[in-house]
Chains A and B, each alone.
Chain A
Amino acid sequence: MKKFDYKDKKDTRSGFGAGLYELGKKNDNVVALCADLTGSLKMNQFADEFPERFIQCGIAEANMIGTAAGLTIGGKIPFAGTFANFATGRVYDQIRQSVAYSEKNVKICASHAGITLGEDGATHQIMEDIGLMKMLPGMVVINPCDYNQTKAATIAIADYEGPVYLRFGRPNVPNFTPEDQKFKIGEAVLLNEGTDVTIFATGHLVWKAIEAAEILEQKGISSEIINIHTIKPLDEKAVLASVAKTKAVVTAEEHMMNGGLGDSIAQLLGRKLPTPIEMVAVDDKFGESGKPEELLTKYGIDTENIVSAVETVLKRK
């Protein structure tokens, strides 16, 4: 198996902040909105350097989404940032009517997604957001895996005309993807070629999939690892090509099983290539307070869970 290495661990939200600042320097039409979480979203540099293009909305997310939609009329490209819970569930109807149905070029930037938000607990740990957003017609859903990829994704979505949901998080995770990567929306990234099983992972769970594949290699199992950073539109071609080869699938994500990446892959395979599949995801539970690593373990979405899911699916092959 290919060797994966990283120099440092960084938070994906800082990748967003860095990407946003780069955009601010090169594109005058990029504007940023935030609902009283500028520091948490790492938007300070943009706010400090481009104050006329930074719009503080206060703790009023519904108005922030509507305002972002209105800003597009006349050519602005709004990046609206808050925690994932307040960027989706709280404002679902605003996104549905003013952004998605109205086909507005709004970038919804959601930090602290998933259970690794940690100690704040279940009120803030949304694990339904991918499902909520992917259900909306025309909405692009992106969940990058590390700092470098989040930065690249942030820059890339400014060049895409249409609504995007960009999901990232709080904890420091291995920053292993190339600094100079070109982010292509909707294009899966093949991280490791393998023959026995395909592990499709997204977000923070991509590194966990790599760790799992290393353990599986010791047991003589060859894993293909594919990073699905864009959950919608799903790279169907890449998924089907890999599964046709390995004939066994495990999905891994920091999200509810209902409505997540596994659900999208299973739907595709059910229609086009029925294949045994196991899903590493949270099974219909709210989270709780704790350290990110403790929570990943307790909620069954850690490295060991991917290993055992692979062992289970191989028995069904």
Chain B
Amino acid sequence: MSDIQNLKKIASQVRRDIVRMVHAQNSGHPGGSLGCTEFLTTLYFEIMNHDSNFDMDGKNQDLFFLSNGHLSALWYSVLARSGYFALSELSTFRMISSRLQGHPTPKEGLPGIRMASGSLGQGLSVACGAALTKKLNKESTTVFTLHGDGELQEGQIWEAAMFAAHHKIDNLIATVDYNGQQIDGPVDKIMSLGNLRAKWESFGWQVLEMNGNDMEDVVKTLNHAKSITGKGKPIAILMKTQMGMGVDFMMGSHKWHGVAPNDEQLENALNQLEETLGDY
């Protein structure tokens, strides 16, 4: 089986995990999680050098920070499927006394999580700091982040964008989930972002674009992004996705941002997603 086929297989299972987790507690954010499944699957199974035998410092490893923490179901599934913790723990998502909090935190000791997120706009700053430490420690590793497009309305993102370019943090790859949706509706209607490519470029970033739901494009673009690290500029990837990708009735609408499927909708969703690696 080709790498692409294998990644698609993992992604299908991750999507099943997401809708099952959100359904089980009748709580969570399926839309963005489903939209970014190809991206995070590729990052953990193809791109990053990382060790599922987790340690907080992550020296000589690539690091990932989820800045839009509400995509926690996606991240937890990918971490569990990568061997960071037992798959069975996914069944505790958002439940009392669980390490799988509604939004990710290192507080409960869940392997794979280095920073809390959920309050938006903070992850790029954190990634800048972690990337600077890697430079001070003379590592040639890369720090990755994921952000929502709506999240870019937070001013701190642009503080960090300016900072990263000024300090030539070129071991940093920030990806924007450019699905055009936020809680109250389409981004263009709520608070339009203007020319996003021009914005990042004018801040001094190298900008790439990809179709986040095309596995081949994701693999190719992330590999390319990694190959152009160390050239004096931080790298931004504008990743076009469809919210709710893979489940037809959730696709392309902000309505499934933070809503769980009912029993019937779950069954419908699971019928569209092949069980490839075994449900948790």
Contact = CB atoms under 8 A, between A and B. Distances in A.
Given A52-B136, A73-B114, A74-B57, A62 B155 contact: yes
Nearest to A71: B129
Interface size of B as a range = 35 or more
Interface string A26-66: 00000100000000000000000000110101101011111
B232 interface: no
Nearest to B125: A66
Interface in B69-122: 105-107, 114-119, 121-122
A220 interface: no
Chain A interface helix/strand/loop/mixed: helix
Contacts of A103: 106-107
Contacts of B106: 102-103
Contacts of B136: 31, 52-53, 74, 76
B105 A63 contact: no
Contact of B156 (A55, A66, A68, A73): A66
User: Which of A52, A67, A70 lies at the interface centre, i.e. has the most chain B CB atoms within 10 A of its CB?
Assistant: A70
A73 B56 contact: yes
7 contacts: A52-B136, A58-B162, A66-B125, A70-B132, A71-B133, A98-B126, A101-B105
A93 interface: yes
Contacts, number: 117
Contact of B122 (A60, A72, A94): A94
A131 interface: no
Nearest to A68: B129
Contacts of B59: 74-75
Given A73-B63, A94-B122, A66 B133 contact: no
A104 B65 CA distance: 15
Contacts of A69: 115, 125-126, 129
A65 B133 CA distance: 15
Given A60-B162, A63-B159, A102-B107, A73 B116 contact: no
A73 B128 contact: no
Contacts of A104: 115
A76 B128 CA distance: 13
Given A58-B162, A67-B129, 7 more contacts: A58-B163, A67-B128, A70-B65, A70-B115, A97-B119, A98-B122, A101-B116
Contact of B125 (A65, A101, A102): A65
A67 B162 contact: no
Interface string A96-116: 111001111000000000000
